[in-house]
Structure 1
Amino acid sequence: MQMTKIEVLYPETCNLFGDMFNIKLLEQSIKDVEIINTNFTDEPAFVTQNVDMIYLAPMTERTQEEVIKKLEPYKARLEELINKNTVMLFTGNAFEILGKYIENEDGSKVQGLGIMDLYSKRDMMHRYSKMYLGEMEIEKGKKIKILGFKAQFSMTYGDNQEYYAFETIRGDGINKENKFEGIRLNNCFGTYILGPILVNNPFFAKYILRLLNVKDTIEFEDIAIENYQRRLEEFENPATKYE
């Protein structure tokens, strides 16, 4: 059986909310898998190897700027892999690096990779924290519900209506005036949802496994789905406060 290669970018610094449990779930669910942990001093494996998935988790704003510098030389390669339908998952503020720029409060701008036609703005004096419920179309006529939590100092702007990840049911999208959450470019997903999104959303995890062309059974699937259904009831309850 062919080995599935999953590259985790900069786990020593991009790991703020228990995000590595996403990788732990995939590692336990895929029979033949190699997890490549790429540290800050390493050249990314995707530059010279054919990896099946790339994962980048949330980071501090300072680290965000360093990550952009690290990945800028490989922008063309990332675009090539996106066009080849390589699975990618960017959670929290990680997906902002794919945009045109990130604007600070003083108006200065940190140039992004420019892979998506969006930009982000920071507001370090005001943390946005909110629950989120949305839905995602995984095939024509079939949708799954996505739930999670957001905590961030920045929001993203521009028109993502043609390539959003999730359509919002409750909560906000990439900003307070936008109902489309995150981005999806082929099999590249970006979302402000934090932490173990795959653990909390087993049907999304199963979808990722199918995109990786492996058996779509996750570890402890029955328990995961039971817990998901319990959380979903809470998220769908009109009495539940999202802030």
Structure 2
Amino acid sequence: MSDRRLRIAHLYPRLMNIYGDRGNMLTLMRRCRDRGIDVEVDELGLGDTLASGAHDLIFMGGAQDRDQRRVSEDLLATKGPALLEAAASDTVILAVCGAYQLFGKHYVAASGEQLAGLGLFDCWTEHPGPAGDRLIGNVVAELEAGDAITLVGFENHGGRTFLGPEAQPLARVRSGFGNNGKDGMEGVRFRNAFGTYLHGSLLPKNPAFADMLIALALGETELEPLDDEIENAAHRAALKLTGRRR
């Protein structure tokens, strides 16, 4: 058994798993195990309580509106307080698409129904309604936080997310729509909590970002390098789809 261990909570793996978001979990587990890092995964669904301080990394993916509605109340009741505490204590959190929306202040669905958000991120999301265009396509974005990392992914969302004055974007869009197709921002970051619209899955094609999350979760400044020939080829292929080289 290794003396290095990563404890991951995967929230709503059956309901919040659209566009292959489970691939993010597979990538985190594989990149840890290839380095001899033990991984423990707790899958938490409806009715399950998230224990305070029990995990180093928390992941939640996206879903259609009907499943987000099912998850919304349960998230606030059974996992909300521990999530807010985790974010405040610098636990690594990755929230993709629907999770990103629910972790904001509120989400207005296509029907006009407003779902209360967790308020972990200073942002809100509004869907323009059935007549509004979905924001669909390949994305290239440059990480905002001083790390020289280019993110690639695929977005498909009707909601438009807007950041509040206390919010920091995860990345700046170089190709694609991002949060709302207008302000050039993609995702959000609060301490070690990250929200993003990038599917595809995100982490398999972005090994540098995956390693950044793992290192933050373990409290390490640098991880041992891996052979990322296949991952980097996938990254380059995604860049090529947008006509960009880097």
Q: TM-score under structure 1 normalisation?
A: 0.86
Counterpart pick for 2:91 among 83, 86, 93: 86
Deviation at 1:234, TM superposition (A): 3.8
Give the distance between the partners of 2:197 and 2:142, measured in 1 at CA.
14
What runs of 5+ residues in structure 2 fail to find an aligned partner? Answer: none
Give the distance between the partners of 1:130 and 1:229, measured in 2 at CA.
16
Aligned-pair Cα RMSD in Å: 2.3
User: Which amino acid in the other structure matches residue 142 of structure 2?
Assistant: E
Give the distance between the partners of 1:19 and 1:218, measured in 2 at CA.
24
**CA offsets 1:96-153 (integer angstroms, 9 cap, x no match):** 11222212455442221223332211234543212111101454xx411111111112
Partner residue in 1 for 2:138: 131
Residues 160 and 180 of structure 2 are in contact (CA less than 8 Å); yes or no, is this contact kept in structure 1?
Answer: yes
> For residues 133 and 24 of structure 1, do their structure 2 counterparts lie closer, same or farther at Cα, with a shift above 3 Å needed?
same
User: Which amino acid in the other structure matches residue 98 of structure 1?
Assistant: F
Give the distance between the partners of 1:119 and 1:94, measured in 2 at CA.
12
User: Which amino acid in the other structure matches residue 77 of structure 1?
Assistant: A
User: Which amino acid in the other structure matches residue 141 of structure 2?
Assistant: G
Give the distance between the partners of 1:137 and 1:177, measured in 2 at CA.
17
Give the distance between the partners of 1:199 and 1:224, measured in 2 at CA.
6
Partner residue in 2 for 1:38: 44
Q: Which runs of 4+ in 1 moved over 6 A?
A: none
User: Which amino acid in the other structure matches residue 212 of structure 1?
Assistant: A
Residues 124 and 154 of structure 1 are in contact (CA less than 8 Å); yes or no, is this contact kept in structure 2?
Answer: no
Give the distance between the partners of 1:225 and 1:217, measured in 2 at CA.
16
Deviation at 1:237, TM superposition (A): 3.5
How many matched pairs?
Answer: 234
> For residues 106 and 228 of structure 1, do their structure 2 counterparts lie closer, same or farther at Cα, with a shift above 3 Å needed?
closer
Partner residue in 1 for 2:171: 166
Give the distance between the partners of 1:161 and 1:229, measured in 2 at CA.
34
Counterpart pick for 1:229 among 214, 236, 242: 236
Partner residue in 1 for 2:27: 25
Partner residue in 2 for 1:9: 11
> For residues 58 and 77 of structure 1, do their structure 2 counterparts lie closer, same or farther at Cα, with a shift above 3 Å needed?
same
Deviation at 1:211, TM superposition (A): 1.1
Deviation at 1:160, TM superposition (A): 6.3
Q: TM-score under structure 2 normalisation?
A: 0.85
User: Which amino acid in the other structure matches residue 137 of structure 2?
Assistant: K
Residues 87 and 120 of structure 2 are in contact (CA less than 8 Å); yes or no, is this contact kept in structure 1?
Answer: no
